[in-house]
Amino acid sequence: MTKVEAFNATGTEVQAADTMPHSIEAEQQLLGAILTNNDVYDKIASIIGPQHFYDPVHARIYETAAARIARNNLASPVTLKAFLEDDEGLKELGGPAYLVKLAGAAISSFAVRDYAQMIYDMAIRRELITLGHDIAGKAMRADVKSEPKDQIVEAEQSLYKLSEQGQAESGFQSFLKAVTDAVNVANAAYQRDGGLAGVSTGLMDMDKKLGGLHPSDLLILA
C-alpha cells in the first residue's frame, strides 16, 4: 500500500484537518536527490532513517537505496528496479517508472539536509500525536490496574524515550565541539559556588552524582 495519491513534485500539498503531519513532496524530492547523486546519502544518513518516511513505499525505496550505498553499490532508478519491481505499493504508483519520476524531481544537494530535517521533524510530530492520543485514551478509561500516578510515570517515560531517540539519531559530535562543550561545563563548575556545572537541587548527594541540573534535562526519580 501507499499514501501517495498522485505525483506532485512542485505543487502545494493540501492536507485534511485530521491528517498526520507529512510532506509527500519533500520525501519525493529527497529520494530523487539520493537516486541521482548517492553522495547525498552521507549528508542525511545521520538525520533520518526509513521509519521517518510517511509513505511506506518511500520508506522501502530509501531502505533499499541505503543498503546498496552502504555496500558501495550504485543506487539509481535502474539498479533499484530489480529489487522493487514486485513491490505492490510501487506498482500502484506506476512501477519502476515512479523511480524515474523521483529522479526527475531531485532537489539540489545543498538543500538535502534541510529536507531531511523537515521529514524527521514531521515524523517526531506524528509520534507525539500518537503518544498524546494513547495517553488521552488511557486517561479516559477507568482501570483499577492503572492508577493516574502510574499513567503519569508511563507518559514521562515514553516522552523521555522519544527525546532520547532524537539525540541518538542526531549523529556524532565533532571532536572540537565535544572538547568545547567539556571546557564550557568545567568553566561553569569553576564559576559557580560549590563547583557545580548546573543548578543545585539542594540535595548534596544528588548534586555530586548529577553535577546539578542542566537545560533540557528530564529526570525520572523512582
C-alpha cell at 188: 561553569
Q: How confident is residue 52, by pLDDT bands cut at 50, 70 and 90?
A: very high
pLDDT in tens, 153-185: 877 887 777 777 655 455 445 555 566 666 665
pLDDT of residue 16: 46
Measured between alpha carbons, how far is 116 from 40 in angstroms, rounded to an integer?
11
Radius of gyration, CA atoms only, the chain: 23
Give the other-Cβ count within 10 Å of 191's Cβ: 9
C-alpha cell at 69: 550505498
3-state secondary structure of 161: helix
pLDDT in tens, 83-104: 999 999 999 999 999 999 999 9
Instruction: State the chain's mean pLDDT as an integer.
Output: 80
Q: Of 201, 220, 219, whose CA–CA distance to 150 is shortest?
A: 220
Give the other-Cβ count within 10 Å of 163's Cβ: 13
